[in-house]
Amino acid sequence: MQNWEDCEKSLGVSFANKSLLKQALTHSSYINENPDFVLLGNERLEFLGDAILDFIVAEKLYKEFPELPEGKLTAIRASLVCRDALTEVASSLGLGDYLLLGRGEEASKGRTKPSNLANAMEAVIGAIYLDQGLVKAKKFVLSRLRPRLRKIKAGKITLNYKALLQEFVQRKKTLTPVYRLVEITGPGHEKQFTAEVMVEGEVLGKGTGKNKKSAEMEAAHSAWEELWRKESLPTPTLI
């Protein structure tokens, strides 16, 4: 049984409407297995939280870096609000312990799935906004993302080209890039992975790395640079 008071303590937020917090942490699988449950799943709150998160971070970067053009601001924002960043914050808050999951999702380690944690984090932001208002939501978001912003400014976190590429492709074509592992070479201790990224069946970029994740990031980087040449996209350097 979830202890919602402990969850509130972890978040540093005392909800006036406790059901908002509960809904933010309710996975669709739980609703499917509990049709009499009075709340909805967290998808709607996730939708709202995603928009609020983007606004808060965009405003923060706009004010903090008055000299940066749109492209550089977009690059930093993408690295602040990407799934990895949200998963990291959600994990630090222990949100996985409070998720309401269906039995199948529970059995498949749903409490530690990056997608579940990132989605719950956005839903919690949406819930805080509805319950406490924008000022409180802003305080919560910025306090949690401040350490990551410092690392980005110090060059300790590289830009998330997968997030940048996805944002651009979805805005232009309302599609999502598809990554495909095409080759694995080398001995067991020094394997080399090669991945491609495609949109509508067209290969936009190819990359290699020591694991699947790094190969996909390199493919996204390659695709971004190719699109930059074709579309005159802003160069995504930081400062």
Which residues belong to the active site? 50, 122
Residue type, 163: A
Q: Is 37 exposed, middle or buried (0-12, 13-18, 19+ CB in 10 A)?
A: middle
Q: Is 216 exposed, middle or buried (0-12, 13-18, 19+ CB in 10 A)?
A: buried
Q: Cα angle at 83 between 79 and 86, to 5 degrees? A: 85
Using alpha carbons, select from 225, 210, 214 the residue that is nearest to residue 179: 214
Q: How far apart are CA 21 and CA 140, in angstroms?
A: 14
